Structure 1
């Protein structure tokens, strides 16, 4: 066990959280993460709450370990989303893509632990003032929908950690124990992984997307829609996204997600946008979640022990 405030709060073995990717963060992937000692998360950003409810019920049959739900505020239209989450018996929630004040008080009143996802120091301070228990600090190199003024994890994480004394999960650019050790050195007490989990064996996406991640170089993502309308995002470079990088269109990139299912599950990489982070350039194989987490923890411990021993000798 890697003991931090986050493992204590969430009751998990390792402070490793799976990102809540829309349509992807469902029971097959999330239960594998929880069973491997991390924190599996069920998404709501698909907006399909009946399916989400079904996935949560499946989770209860697939794992007896803790798991959580993400409330993606910009994509969930149900005014009763707090009641929906509470009724499922979930104890941990991450909120994202919106004002942390919107749901925090109601979730906390119901006894849930709440972390909010933030892309800047100002957003982090606002979330703490709203009463959240912790933060997911997300660097701009990560995949998915982003702030248009992205800041790298290497800059953002230590900045937030130096100003706020709350449990912090680092997100963006992390795929293994080396990245986890770096995040801890910068002040985090846990990590969140998205792209690495998209490429996992239990991920429901088509093999074409997984293969594209494995084959990607570190330069093979694009940052789209920086000037709107709508949110910016980071995705794998394809013919479509290369064109969108230069000419996003009058309505931004949002219309391109109408055919997302054809890419996600049909394997047509030009049908939509494959949201992925720069860390795709460091992922070289598809592996089961249990293997990913086991190797990650082993590498993390080896690096931390090695650094301690090496620099202890240097000081002697």
Structure 2
């Protein structure tokens, strides 16, 4: 079968022929419906070096945002019907530590000794015609479109987990929330916040078209610039936002979000651009929090799918055939995509 393979560090992936996988004990073979192309994939093949913390050992098939139809099951697996559609929970932990027992494999206590981080991150992923998945990692989609759903396993799960943790800050009237960065995750974050809270959603990005899409979803937008934080605070009546989510994670974006915070506010840095933040007692709102989150739990993903099936969230998707998957990654790197690139092997 054809697949997009990460062959060596700091090298663009290749589209090549690999053997069709066979499901092992406890696994399900999926015929891939869609596989999302994510900036984390770019980091895997562009940024990481051998031995660096977080680096995944090549070679393997990329693709950690996956959906598909059941093709076959391995030994010990029951309860799955051929042809049914599922979304894939990507993280794979040790399966027996306290975090994995809660379905939060992203925080596995044995991550340093696990053979890989996730499906598509160290283990063969879904940028192929078929992928094998632990049965535990499958979330049913019912009659929902599995192709459009593929990005939900990261681009929706990641903001959902971060937002869910911050909901106490947004409970009550007159609350304000800030979304920094309106790419795939930020656009879905606006939708999740609108569905789950009554807060005024303020959104900002350097791209005008991204802000227009967020505005169409109910956000109040603020353009980037030297007076950005002041403009955000003005929208809150001067008190600042009760929660903020930075989906970029660069030093300037963290600084903007931090400067926009209210007393007791919560800033969650979700983007992994490697930014740093300075803390000072007199320049930080009292009892405010700066924290971070990574991906989410499988319980969260079930809830994300429920929102998707209810029509509360819908990712912006640009579809590519598998033969054009490398072009999808090229456009992702060049910033030429207006939605999430989803590779569809059946096209």
TM-score over 0.5 for the pair: no
Alignment TM-score, normalising by the size of structure 1? 0.34
Structure with bigger gyration radius: 2
Structure with more of its chain in strand, by fraction: 2
Task: Provide TM-score, normalisation by structure 2.
Answer: 0.31
Where relative contact order (Cα < 8 A, 6+ residues apart) is larger, the structure is 2
